[in-house]
Amino acid sequence: MSEKTNAARILDRLKINYELVEYAVDPDNLAAEHVAEELGEPIEQVFKTLVLRGDKSGIFVCVVAGNREVDLKKAAKVSGNKKAEMIAMKELLPLTGYIRGGCTAIGMKKRYPTFISEDAADFPFIYVSAGKRGLQLRLSPTDLAKAAEASFADISTI
């Protein structure tokens, strides 16, 4: 097993139960579908962490199921913005400390408002990145919300 990520150390500190699950990385396919296939889990339980910029509040984070997209209108509304857009890929590492395919809502460089798609609560556990490619966290949605200081919201669409 690879060494613990910052996100895993934060979960340890908060005494939150989780499991680290390794998977084979395909650098040409960082999509959630690929991760779900590698894990042998339904795509609805493999969540991706997306970083957005609102026209009023600035940076915020959305965590949505791999088979869904963030709804920019809904995300803007719950985050107190009129409009929101995805950040440019080159901004991801400087803003969060994470790279594409290894971004997690836990332990970002700064604390950003974070929203988890409300459908996550339908599952006893979900998968999110552990903070590096090839490693996922398996944990309950409520524990993710606690660790990321996030709230559940209607932010995604099929």
Where do the structural domains in the chain lie, given as residue ranges? Answer: 6-157
Q: Is the pTM of this model over 0.95?
A: yes
Residue-wise pLDDT tens digits, 33-71: 999 999 999 999 999 999 999 999 999 999 999 999 999
Tell me the two tokens of residue 149.
Answer: 């200081």
What residues of the chain score a pLDDT lower than 50? none
Rounded to an integer, what distance in angstroms lies between the CA atom of residue 30 and that of residue 43?
14
94 CB-near residues (< 8 Å, 6+ apart): none
Regarding the domain with residue range 6-157, which homologous superfamily does it belong to in the CATH classification? YbaK/aminoacyl-tRNA synthetase-associated domain (3.90.960.10)
